[in-house]
Amino acid sequence: MSKSNSLLDELDFKIVACLQQDGRMSFTVMAEQLKVSVGTIRTRVNKLIEDRTISIVGRVDPDKIGFHSYAHIAVYIRPATMKEQVAQKISILPEVSFLALTSGDYDLEVDVMCRDNDHLVDFVNKISSFKGVYQTKTTIYFKVYKYAQPDLGLLREG
């Protein structure tokens, strides 16, 4: 793999894989595992952070900290020219953990984490009132079995 077009090289992938295993892994431990200098690791990690390829964050279990209503909301927008405007309004809401423009039956896919079902109802009512939102369809996640970052090994297959 080459570095052109912002693609990661083999060492970058190994560094990201280490950080996915343990986001607090020291540069020294990483350097020892990958058989490169600490300076190389420091430079590479700082570059990955600077170009926004990665961010180092504390990942929480939503249920354990008080978010007991986790849902997927399909948003239908009319007229279609309002998609970007509606997406921008939804994207700034703190409950939103994922937002994407989609193809198919609905226009936007929104995942949200709310304190409880009353909070979720208030959230759905809020976005339903946005100009351009024609309809919403909410699916509550009763139990999440897997919530993970992408497996970098998949990029090496095929």
The domains found in the chain, sorted by start residue, are 9-50 (1.10.10.10), 62-141 (3.30.70.920)
Q: Tens of pLDDT along the chain (158 residues)?
A: 333 445 889 999 999 999 999 999 999 999 999 999 999 999 999 999 999 999 998 888 888 899 999 999 999 999 999 999 999 999 999 999 999 999 999 999 999 999 999 999 999 999 999 999 999 999 999 988 888 888 888 887 65
Farthest CA pair distance, the chain: 56
* Cβ atoms of residues 67 and 108 within 8 Å: no
Taking residue 45's Cβ as centre, other Cβ atoms within 10 Å add up to: 20
- Per the DSSP assignment, residues forming a β-bridge with 70 are 113, 141
Q: Minimal CA–CA distance to 49: which of 77, 27, 65?
A: 27
- Per the DSSP assignment, residues forming a β-bridge with 126 are none
Q: What's the pLDDT at 5?
A: 42
Token pair of 56 as six digits: 């180092």
3-class SS at 29?
Answer: helix
120 CB-contact burial (10 Å; exposed 0-12 / middle 13-18 / buried 19+):
buried
